[in-house]
Structure 1
């Protein structure tokens, strides 16, 4: 019995796998042979084309989240973005390792995202892209954090900053991550990091969106549910402000992203400082508090230590405290811990916190310069007064960092003298040998110790009521506490002539040239204040740009089935896909199906990205007629239903069809549909939509022009697989088909010449039965196909025959 080839020789199976978890999202990398997956367990997986080998896995965790809602690749394929509903976070992941490169929170759970790259060319943009960033010449490179803190924080961002400056994080061209969610939530993030637009006035939940690469329009599909009934609408928003001020938007976005990255750098530096500070440093406070609570004498702790300093003798209670609770060994360890911790914090402040703050001050000053060019940047909402306030906040943060350095320097000096004296005193109590170099104490050392005891060993009942301790010997940790309370022991400003001079001068006190000083607040508090002011300052352009996006075109879709971009959701009858065609006519495409006579018909809606221009054949339906085998005159005719459709490239759509009367296991087809055949200029006048977009499309099916397609090549029967979804990648010439059980995947190379694929059994067996086979799962079918004769394709010479072995058990 002759076994007929199932398709044109361009489809070859290169990988097949059964996955342990159900897949809910899959999307190919735009530049590499990698495909990103998300499963029901909350994992994000990266697989390679070859044998579908897993490269890495990003497991769910409490910090990022466990409920993945969508995936998107950066246009260069180096970053993967995914959204999490439970934490309302967006995570940017490095393609090389499963590490969070950057993450940020959003107001609402994100249901769709699109990452685009601007392709508009202009002389201004070209010179800007090619010019070297002056910050690389004027600012020192930000140093990497010590290796011992690498396990404590995500340092991927910092490592990249230190290696090739901040610009290495981003593409040369402007790229924008567009997010959509519930309650009309739509936001645009430059380089996937900093918000440059927030769209308002949108009703319903965003199902899909697409920002055109020429920045002229944003296409959106939303769903509004009322009393259990849903209404789906498509509309286009004008984005002329982005297009008209593209060079300015690009320069501003670059600055915004620099600022966002530097804020994260400062946050990570502060995190490392907190990790360098150890709880052991609080031992002295807790031991002294316990001593106060247990001692029977009326002598104060300060007097007890002063008596030991002056006379060399300790009371029995103090001796018990020192020898039994603190101990010589414990004191030595505490002294070493304080010295090591303070030294580490001091280095982090000098080399990281200050350098990051100075770089932040530089970029904000440059942004203020841009804002001063009102003709160019005022329409974008850049406010010089707000930026000046942000600069002032950064100055206050730098002052607080300098104050911390002074506290560390003073504490190290006093602690060193205090511990050295107390260590010798305790050795004498135990009658141990004291080294001569330790036994020497100058008058200066005694003065240090006396000042230290006077300042730090006063009992404070108010402090006990607040913090549960009578003493605050350790003064550095209070600066690193993320609290709104005032400092327990603020710096003593009495006798500071400059501080007194400023307080007594009303002109200088209110002068914009001087940074405000907050002596009673922690470093964390001043940092949070700085971040809030910068966020408010940079939020205004996002509001202005967002409000400028006006709705221009709308359509009441309410069709039955859309095609999600690589989004697979059970029990949801809404799937669609928006595509930006950047090679031919600058068009947005929308693929969907309409229920007609209890069967589904595939439709394509297209709109020009320039809203002022119209496009012919704006809405057209596709009916799949017959499929001709390549080696014989045999023609396959049936009634086909479109299960899924995705853009393979700018000119081709990859479609999964179901033969509604076919035998199970031989009822799914993979088809390449060229748009050039759909939009034939010779007969375009015959395929014009005669209905209205203000009425539900499924109520005017007869008004939608239908083109019947017959295929002699570019199709393949999917044997032994209940194929349901497809993801295509025209750049790598591959497609991935996913079965209805969401576990069985099969990968095809779509453009392999001179290789013919064979069936395991003949279609004659299927025709002999002449009876449709009932499928257990819900049948998605198309309107009745016309019985038309299809021409036989000529048999190509020198055919290389190859038989594939497929596993029928993978779908079980």
Structure 2
């Protein structure tokens, strides 16, 4: 009876490029050649959701990584050079950030540290909720998709647990960056040669292992193992955690302010659109030499309009149109006002709070100076946020004045048009105070001005720039800056030589727009955010560089997506493991390189070769000795660590002439890892040039193997916690899923039926693909309750049966 119980199989319409098991749940993420991200459940391999490519993300997924708690999935996109964080529950994009190069590999790890200092830091972190109000929910924005419905607890949801987790991103030209909580960049590394193929940060933060591929013009690409000393991260772990959480809050607040401004601009565009529809057309159709402003003033002063103005008002604008215009503009102004008060000011206050705390941290130089916190830079950022807050308050005053003028003008014009049409004028509208008349006169002088500088560039003759000039994302000065002549505070500051240049007063930039001051603020904060990344990155030094082997030219056309070598972090023993094969040198051997995470330590038996020329049905633990003759020879196609003591491999039988016989096996590593024979490594040579002295250990998998029928198995992805494996065929379209701790219970007939069913399944793929695209809406597939076997989770169990 074969080992491992098959629980799912599927022929997929598009080739799979990447697959990654969720660390905590029975879910596997797949990325295909069309740029689509798929999430499947273990039970019968049912689809939970799919996330199609879009303009925000891109179409070329280049790597996948799960957050250690399994709630967030990160994927990198090559064509847009971005890393995207996706909510595993709802297939919603939570956050994305640009990277310099397309990421070729990613690793998301969680720090293993039981010290009480992190707990105390988390308790102090929560104090911000006692002093700061909850951020209001942002309205839905038509242009901004990210954070468009952000809630106040969104930051906490993204941060996850208090325990620090770090997303490591690697790419070409030695590009490696570290992101705390997947959001804030804490290190940019330099000095690494080649393209990163695989990487792993140790859970004790003492070292980072990187597999690189170095290409030269005169030789085949060379694979190297590099260990980098990241001791600063481990020695400053509590400080790093606190700084990362603070800066992550700050980064998210900046995004919150950006979206708030976007919503304000959209509300303003609504005002402009209404003006274009009605008043601008009205002004343009007046073809006499008399200016509209003069005719309105004549109507205001004498109470009667020229026949032409009366005709334009009654025919073009109409009483009903004027009423609708007034309501629309009033609504848009109110929306902008609310956004300034509830969003810009709340966000700015939260920014000032967190930056002030960071400044306090920076002044504790003994603890935080090694991480790159500079008090002067943070002070500059605080000043910039203060200037932004003042500019937002200035905009509020301008909005308030504009709203008064608008309301007075529309009320007056509404009454005048009612009189022209000889309709009844309500008594409450008939009264006009001197202040109301002043508001109307102000409105006419500002909005129907003959000054050409105030005209819109598109040739429109109605100036509504008083508020809009603050929302323009341009470097030009304000066309109509506010008049501060009567402001007693401004006069007092100008007359005081000490106050005028005092660092205690935030600069106001009276000639600049809100967008301009926002950019100054972002630049100052970015300087604070980026400096620690550079300082920490410079502290990381190369500890070990081992040249492994060259990649033969014959493999250039084979997929590099799952190709060995593979990295594994043993958290219990604080070890980095590297698994690789050298098929050109020794086709039937698997090599395991072992390095301690502490670069200053060394371990016995740092390198061992596993000999696959072992009888299929023998076992090291068997009492009977293994037969002298070897039944078959195997070569390894793919290998992944199942747990700290077991390696899951896909093997190919070398004696098979048609090259079709594949085996999925579990290799026990206890005996191999406990062998004490040492290998003397000449670092000036590649490992493939000195294979003679490598200790070789026989390995047998006993009944922990299964022949792969009707599938040309090539790659494997495993999850030892969930005890599952997913095998992918060489054509990247055929997958099989196994529970590794259970034996197959079905008999040969059932397996034959399953094979036949798979064939008919394949015939229906094209039809199903069409139906499937109709069934998917909003990146989600809603299906009936599935009844497959295997472990289940709370992740929307009713969602996701694939019809394939």
Q: Which residue of 1 is the match for residue 322 of structure 2?
A: 331
Give the equivalent residue in structure 2 for 1:31.
Answer: 24
* Cα contact 2:144–2:259 (8 A) shared by 1: no
2:766 alignment counterpart: none
Structure 1 match to 2:515: 524
Unaligned 5+ runs, structure 2? 764-804
Task: Give the conservation status (yes or no) of the 8 Å contact 1:757–1:803.
Answer: no
Q: Is the 8 A contact 1:719 1:806 kept in 2?
A: no
* Contact kept? 2:592, 2:607, Cα under 8 Å: yes
Using the alignment, how far apart are the partners of 1:279 and 1:610 within structure 2?
A: 60
Is 1:171–1:191's contact at 8 Å kept on the other side of the alignment?
no
**Equivalent position to 2:559, from 570, 576, 584:** 570
Q: What TM-score results when the alignment is normalised by the length of structure 2?
A: 0.88
User: Residue 569 of structure 1: CA displacement?
Assistant: 6.7
* SS of corresponding position for 2:411: helix
User: Which has the higher mean CA deviation after the structures are superposed, 313-322 or 34-43?
Assistant: 313-322
- Alignment deviations for residues 172-199 of structure 1 (CA, whole Å, 9 cap, x no partner): 1001111111222111111110011111
1:578 Cα deviation after fit: 1.2
Q: CA deviation at 1:540?
A: 0.9
Structure 1 residues 579 and 597, CA gap change in structure 2 (3 angstroms): closer
Cα displacement (A) at 1:474: 5.0
Whether the 8 Å contact between 1:728 and 1:735 is mirrored in structure 2 is yes
- Whether 2:551 is the aligned partner of 1:602: answer no
Mapped to 2, the partners of 1:111 and 1:420 lie a distance apart of 63
Matches within 5 A, 1:698-713: 698-713=688-703
Tell me: CA distance 1:672–1:571, structure 2 relative to 1, closer, same or farther (3 Å): closer
Alpha-carbon separation, structure 2, partners of 1:619 and 1:262: 48
Q: Is the 8 A contact 2:76 2:83 kept in 1?
A: yes
Distance 1:510 1:355 in 2: 28
Per-residue deviation, residues 406-433 of structure 1 (Å, max 9, x unmatched): 1221111111111111122223333333
Report the TM-score when normalising by structure 1: 0.87
Equivalent position of 1:215 in the other structure: 205
Q: Report what 1:534 is aligned to.
A: 525
- Secondary structure of the 2:314 match is helix
* Pair 1:627 & 2:616 matched: yes
Distance 1:219 1:335 in 2: 65
Structure 1 stretches of 5 or more lacking a match?
761-800
| Counterpart position of 1:582 | 571
Q: 2:104 & 2:435 partners in 1: Cα distance? A: 68
Shift of 1:504: 4.0
- Counterpart in the other structure of 1:649: 643
* Secondary structure at the counterpart of residue 261 of structure 1: helix
The counterpart of 2:9, out of the listed 7, 16, 26, is: 16
Task: Name the counterpart of 1:48.
Answer: 41
Determine the structure 1 residue equivalent to 2:790: none
Change in Cα spacing, 1:561 to 1:143, as seen in structure 2 (3 Å) is: farther
User: For residues 694 and 333 of structure 1, do their structure 2 counterparts lie closer, same or farther at Cα, with a shift above 3 Å needed?
Assistant: farther
Q: Could you tell me which residue of structure 1 aligns to residue 781 of structure 2?
A: none
- Contact kept in structure 1, 2:562 and 2:715, CA below 8 Å: no
What CA distance in whole angstroms lies between the structure 2 residues aligned with 1:401 and 1:561? 62
SS at match of 1:475: helix
Decide whether the 8 Å contact of 1:463 with 1:469 is kept in 2: no
Say if 2:73 is the partner of 1:80: yes
Per-residue deviation at 1:328? Answer: 2.5
- What whole-Å deviation, never above 9, does each CA across 1:761-788 have from its counterpart, x for those lacking one? xxxxxxxxxxxxxxxxxxxxxxxxxxxx
Return the alpha-carbon distance in structure 2 between the equivalents of residues 102 and 742 of structure 1. 29
12-21 vs 281-290, greater mean Cα deviation: 281-290
* Coordinate RMSD, CA, aligned: 2.9
Kindly indicate whether the alpha-carbon contact (under 8 Å) linking 2:225 and 2:546 is maintained by their aligned counterparts in 1: yes
Alignment correspondent of 1:119 = 112
Distance 1:431 1:520 in 2: 47
The answer to whether structure 1 residue 667 and structure 2 residue 655 are counterparts is no
Structure 1 contact 560–595 (Cα < 8 Å) conserved: no
Report deviation, 1:142: 1.6
Asked if 1:490 is matched to 2:481, the reply is: yes
Aligned-partner Cα distance in 2 for 1:448–1:594: 84
Q: Is the 8 A contact 2:380 2:524 kept in 1?
A: yes
C-alpha displacement of 1:451: 2.2
Helix, strand or coil: the match of 1:541? helix
| Mapping 1:18-417, distance limit 5 Å | 18-129=11-122, 133-146=126-139, 149=141, 153-155=145-147, 158-159=150-151, 161-162=152-153, 166=156, 169-227=159-217, 229=219, 230-284=221-275, 295-417=286-408
C-alpha separation between the residues in 2 aligned to 1:46 and 1:569?
25
Residues 569-606 of structure 1: per-residue CA shift (max 9 Å, x gap): 726795322111102x2111111111345836321111
The Cα of 1:19 is off from its aligned counterpart by 1.1
What is the CA-CA distance between 1:519 and the residue it aligns to? 2.2
- Which stretch has the larger CA shift, 589-598 or 639-648? 589-598
